[in-house]
Amino acid sequence: MTTLLESRLEEHATPTAPHVRLAPHLLDCLRCPGCSTDGPLVQDVRAHGAEVVSCTHCGSTYDHPDRILNLSNTAHSANPVFEQEFDDWEHNAEHYIHEPNSPLYQLLHTRKTKTFGITGCDAPIVLDLGAGTGYFSHYLANLGCHPVTLDFSPKMLQAGMKSYDLPAAVLYATPPLPFRSESFDAVIANGMLHHCKAQGALGAVLSEIHRVLKPGGMLYVFDRNGAWAGRCLHHFVLRIKELMQNRLTASASASRHEPDFMLEDLQSVLDAGFRIQRQRHISTLPTFATIVATNTLKYAGWPRLASTCQTLARPLLGILEQGLAARCFTVEQCLCLSKTTPESANERRVPESTTPRAVRTNRGRHT
């Protein structure tokens, strides 16, 4: 029989921090940012015990503290917009993680994923680009997908790792993308592409998305549609959010100055080699507004009132959002796009039937 002393000694002999294995699907799709070759990249334990990922071609090494693979590049340092955005997201991380903690948050994501029938069948490998705290990745992992969560903000990724234990997270600023060509079944850009537009990098990011997708792979874009009414309401909600952030002593975001994702941006997507499979407009506004308002109540010191409001609001929100899903009121356009071959270039024009009317009439009016 094992004595207490023996079992304590055994416990002591067992390392408390065993070798951290990175998800195999992540290692399989990596391309070394140092030499831009396909490596391969392998996990290594150095003599002094530090764990790194190293490139078998050029010898570059990358560490992965808390299972966040640090491939960070400095390419953005010359771009002031990029720098500003980076600072904003670093400041926003603690605040941003609160929204998914609301029980209403699921409604937003269920609407998006159901609209496009995103499922985990065949365990697809999905890149969650500009993933923030990685709620979408978490949702995809629960569906049976293998997500790779990429963001340039260490704090956003750290907050996400703490909350969701994401399977594979990468710290990196796109473009380019640190992945092999044709390695993903799908790419999701949720609230991401309008940031690339602000950074002057939309075309380059789109061609990188095209490169890393497998033939016939899918690109899902969820982004602001630029409709006037939707934008006004959205900024009103952001104002409440800012007030809440001040209360939490976090810094305010620059969101009010972000560009929208307009018709010409959709044309850039098609020019990069994608074809529209489906296009929808959804209003996530009532849910988003309620989350912000009830979180405000919660942090103001009335958690019970906040949860009562959430319970009462839940059944109403779905109905309300469907009623508001007219283009002029929507906040987001949802695009389901498939990768095309260069030969089908002449099919890439924006079909008139899918042209969002509100976007067209409000061109040039954004703040």
Pick from 116, 136, 164, 274: which binds ligand SAM (CB under 6 A)? 136
Those residues whose C-beta lies under 8 Å from the C-beta of residue 81, and which sit 6 or more positions away, are 198, 199, 200
Q: How many chain residues bind ligand SAM (CB under 6 A)?
A: 18
Residue nearest to ligand SAM (CB): 132
* Cα distances (Å, whole numbers) of residue 138 to 50, 104, 178, 359: 28, 16, 21, 31
Query: Using CA atoms, how far apart are residues 73 and 335, in angstroms rounded to an integer?
Result: 29
Taking the least distance from each CB to ligand SAM, the nearer of 54 and 158 is 158
Query: Using CA atoms, how far apart are residues 287 and 91, in angstroms rounded to an integer?
Result: 24
Cβ-contact 190, 89 below 8 angstroms: no
Residue 62 touching ligand SAM (CB under 6 A): no
Pick from 22, 29, 30, 32: which binds Zn ion (CB under 5 A)? 32
Pick from 102, 113, 153, 362: which binds ligand SAM (CB under 6 A)? 153
Omega before 154 within 30 of 0, i.e. cis: no
The interface mask with ligand SAM, positions 173-212, x = CB under 6 A, is xx---------------xxx--x---x-------------
Residue 164 touching ligand SAM (CB under 6 A): no
Those residues whose C-beta lies under 8 Å from the C-beta of residue 39, and which sit 6 or more positions away, are 30, 31, 32, 55, 56, 57
| Residue 361 beta carbon to ligand SAM: minimum distance, rounded to whole angstroms | 25
Cβ-contact 56, 70 below 8 angstroms: no
| Residue 160 beta carbon to ligand SAM: minimum distance, rounded to whole angstroms | 9
| Residue 31 beta carbon to Zn ion: minimum distance, rounded to whole angstroms | 9
Cα–Cα nearest to 338, from 265, 261, 262, 273: 273
| Residue 196 beta carbon to ligand SAM: minimum distance, rounded to whole angstroms | 6
Residue 152 touching ligand SAM (CB under 6 A): yes
| Residue 5 beta carbon to ligand SAM: minimum distance, rounded to whole angstroms | 50
The interface mask with ligand SAM, positions 261-300, x = CB under 6 A, is ----------------------------------------
Tokens of 30: 């990596």
* Cα distances (Å, whole numbers) of residue 164 to 97, 146, 150, 190, 329: 10, 14, 14, 18, 32
Positive or negative torsion for Cα 55, 61, 67, 71 = negative
Taking the least distance from each CB to Zn ion, the nearer of 53 and 141 is 53
Residue 60 touching Zn ion (CB under 5 A): yes
173 interacts with, out of Zn ion, ligand SAM, none, CB within 5 to 8 A per kind: ligand SAM
285 interacts with, out of Zn ion, ligand SAM, none, CB within 5 to 8 A per kind: none
Those residues whose C-beta lies under 8 Å from the C-beta of residue 98, and which sit 6 or more positions away, are 295, 299
Binding site for ligand SAM (CB under 6 A): 85, 89, 130-132, 135-136, 151-153, 156, 173-174, 190-192, 195, 199
